[in-house]
């Protein structure tokens, strides 16, 4: 009887923990979505400021170099396109990492998670290379340079945070913090990574194609 009562009590406790997890998971998901929405507002304010400056300050774009008086060169579209494919590819690998985790395929999950981390790091290295070779002035050199470095730098910081976040999630998953039914951290990481992909679509269009 004592053993049966203990087992019943353990089952009730497990059921209670499951209910608490599901309730807090929904609240945490809402909070994380609101955080992403606040980030959308942040990026949107800078993007609209850039659009205003571009359409009202200079009749030509890129604008004239205040020092030489010549028009600043356009950014390297081909290089940025390759770097963009790297970032968007990381979004694909992150999706497959999440799907393989759900189906308890640890080996494939590890592969795709590490591919995501590596691709994200490669994107950051590509952006650093572009920063050292773009001849558009620094933050104080021109409106174009200030806008470009501010917006892409803010995005790059988000990618860097995302890479660190994914590393932490991978370590947690290796320590069995998550299982196939409880993996909110991985869900949040996937949402965040897709968010930085979407933001880059807007920035790529604004700075390289427009």
- Within-domain flag for 153: yes
Tally of structural domains, the chain = 1
Distance separating alpha carbons of residues 87 and 121, to the nearest angstrom: 9
- Within-domain flag for 77: yes
What range defines the domain where residue 197 resides? 39-209
Burial degree of 29 (CB within 10 A; 0-12, 13-18, 19+): middle
- Within-domain flag for 11: no
3-class SS at 118?
A: helix
Q: What is the pLDDT at residue 156?
A: 98
Q: What is the pLDDT at residue 16?
A: 57
Q: What is the pLDDT at residue 67?
A: 73
- Within-domain flag for 7: no
Closest CA to 37 of 157, 195, 203: 195
- Within-domain flag for 163: yes
- Within-domain flag for 1: no
Q: What is the pLDDT at residue 10?
A: 46
CATH, residue 154: 1.20.120.80
- Within-domain flag for 123: yes
Closest CA to 106 of 181, 11, 199, 174: 174
Chunked into runs of 10 residues, the chain (210 residues) has average pLDDT values of: 45 59 81 96 96 86 79 92 98 97 96 98 97 81 88 98 98 92 92 97 96
In degrees rounded to 5, what are phi and psi of residue 64? -75, 145
- Within-domain flag for 23: no
């Amino acid at each position: 009887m004592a053993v049966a009562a203990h087992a019943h009590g353990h089952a009730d406790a497990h059921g209670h923990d499951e209910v608490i997890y599901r309730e807090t998971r929904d609240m945490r998901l809402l909070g994380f979505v609101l955080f992403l929405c606040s980030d959308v507002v942040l990026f949107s304010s800078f993007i609209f400021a850039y659009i205003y400056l571009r359409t009202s300050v200079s009749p030509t774009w890129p604008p004239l170099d205040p020092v030489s008086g010549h028009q600043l060169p356009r950014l390297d579209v081909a290089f940025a396109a390759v770097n963009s494919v790297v970032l968007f590819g990381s979004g694909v690998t992150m999706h497959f990492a999440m799907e393989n985790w759900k189906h308890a395929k640890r080996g494939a999950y590890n592969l795709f998670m590490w591919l995501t981390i590596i691709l994200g790091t490669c994107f950051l290295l590509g952006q650093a290379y572009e920063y050292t070779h773009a001849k558009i002035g620094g933050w104080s050199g021109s409106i174009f340079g200030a806008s470009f470095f501010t917006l892409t730098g803010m995005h790059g910081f988000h990618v860097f945070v995302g890479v660190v976040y994914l590393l932490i999630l991978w370590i947690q998953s290796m320590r069995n913090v998550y299982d196939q039914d409880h993996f909110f951290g991985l869900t949040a990481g996937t949402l965040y990574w897709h968010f930085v992909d979407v933001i880059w679509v807007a920035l790529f269009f604004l700075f390289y194609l427009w």
